[in-house]
Amino acid sequence: MELKRVVVTGLGALTPIGKNLDEFWTSLINGNSGAGPITRFDTTNFKTKFACEIKNYDWKNHFNRKEVKRLDLFSQYALIAVKEALEDSKIDLQSIDLDTIGVIWGSGIGGIDTFTQEIKNYVKNNEIPKFNPFFIPKMISDIAAGHISMKYNLRGPNYTTVSACASSTNAIIDAYNNIRLGLAKVFVSGGSEASINEAGVAGFNAMRAISVRNDDPKTASRPFDVDRDGFVMGDGAGAIILEEYEHAKNRGAKIYAELLGGGLSADAHHLTAPHPEGLGATKVMQNAIKDANIKYSDVDYINVHGTSTGLGDIAETIAVKTVFKEHAYKLSISSTKSMTGHLLGAAGAVESIAAILAIKYGIVPPTINQFNLDPKIDSKLDFTFNKAKKRNINISLSNTFGFGGHNASVIFSKL
């Protein structure tokens, strides 16, 4: 069968460096860090006392009291980003067959804030089981997708992908495959996460996965730097409206980019560490390029996973050189996590948006906080350190890798 073409017609972003799409992009190209002291709980006894929170977030600006009782933060963030993306797409939900619009959303952890608060209340109440009746439906990872479909009466395929930090890239790939197979005309896709709470921070501290640079949070996320000491946690959401090309063209939709292909792979190596030779990362980029039916030399920009972890940054760099060979030195590369922090299950969606906007505006966002390059990392590669640069970008690739060895990559192009 002939596969349908898939395009991006709407974007929405709620991030630590901007609470809408324009703010997010402006902060990216200006190299702004979203890191700062944690305000959501008392960090006195915690090893890490900072993160990339959504600044001055107030649910009252978006929901009424009845609605918010049913919504964990990760679902709140999802609905806010999706509202912007749908408005951006200018799709008329009153005139379209809602059976043809689906929702595939990603979240690595889901309602951990609800879970944490309910367990705290249980202990506080001398272990008397007086749980909130919304406890389970607020906590489960699939519920954000459910809320999106219920709010807009979208009756197409509806589910959530969970693959740790690759979750929302997996969601985008699944939505892409559904559309190109002709199973739906439009998908709301993306991901959200809200894990900056006691359990989330303490859990990642116990793994020694996150930075403890409490004296200078804004420079703590420093991918590829020899003094990096772990990633910085971030909260937020990214929403992408994917649409079958002819459907979008017929309604006169604004088109940001075409989604050319997606790749998946597994490291099959370790619970949390990447394969030291970057085998899974190599395979996932190769799979994406094959699926997109392009040459390696066609790729202009890679938004790398680039978490600022000791092993991860090295493994991904090895993979880029393995896949692209000499062309690796002609690529622009950057890690926008240096600014947003690591949004976990939402990272893939937010970074895909960065890769799409890089095409639209012809600007490569920077990798900030580069002071001393790790000598184990090839200094001839162009990591776009510390300052954005103009470049004509026809094709961009975005990588996401998750604990458990889950890898997902997507490729976007100018139409």
Strands 301-303 and 395-402: parallel
User: CA 376, 378, 384, 386 torsion: positive or negative?
Assistant: positive
Catalytic annotation present for 342:
yes
> Residue 313 belongs to what H/E stretch?
helix 310-324
Instruction: Give me the catalytic one of 165, 247, 275, 406.
Output: 165
Domains in the chain, CATH or no CATH each:
6-250 (3.40.47.10), 263-413 (3.40.47.10)
- pLDDT band, very low/low/confident/very high, at 397 (cuts 50, 70, 90): very high
Instruction: Give me the catalytic one of 147, 247, 275, 342.
Output: 342
Token reading at 27: 């902060």
Rounded distance between C-alpha atoms, residue 411 and residue 289, angstroms: 7
Taken as a whole, the chain contains a residue count of 415
Instruction: Give me the catalytic one of 147, 247, 275, 305.
Output: 305
Catalytic annotation present for 52:
no
Q: What pLDDT shows up at residue 40?
A: 96
- pLDDT band, very low/low/confident/very high, at 21 (cuts 50, 70, 90): very high
Q: What pLDDT shows up at residue 313?
A: 97
Q: What pLDDT shows up at residue 131?
A: 95
What are 188-210's pLDDT values in tens digits? 999 999 999 999 999 999 999 99
What are 87-118's pLDDT values in tens digits? 999 999 999 999 999 999 999 999 999 999 99
* Angle CA 212–36–202, to nearest 5: 45
Mean pLDDT of 262-290: 96
Q: What pLDDT shows up at residue 24?
A: 98
Does 408 score more than 90 pLDDT? yes
Token reading at 104: 């595939």
What are 55-71's pLDDT values in tens digits? 999 999 999 999 999 99
User: Which residues are within 8 A (CB) of 237 and not within 5 positions of it... i.e. 6 or more apart?
Assistant: 12, 13, 14, 15, 74, 77, 78, 80, 81, 82, 190, 191, 192, 193, 346, 349, 350
- pLDDT band, very low/low/confident/very high, at 1 (cuts 50, 70, 90): confident
Catalytic annotation present for 165:
yes
Rounded distance between C-alpha atoms, residue 265 and residue 323, angstroms: 14
Q: How far is CA 308 from the centre of its chain?
A: 16
User: Which residues are within 8 A (CB) of 58 and not within 5 positions of it... i.e. 6 or more apart?
Assistant: none
The rounded mean pLDDT for the chain is: 97
Sheet holding 332-334, edge to edge: 158-161, 101-106, 186-193, 236-244, 6-14, 257-266, 406-413, 395-402, 301-303, 332-334
What are 290-342's pLDDT values in tens digits? 999 999 999 999 999 999 999 999 999 999 999 999 999 999 999 999 999 99
The closest of 212, 259, 201 to 3, measured between CA atoms, is: 259
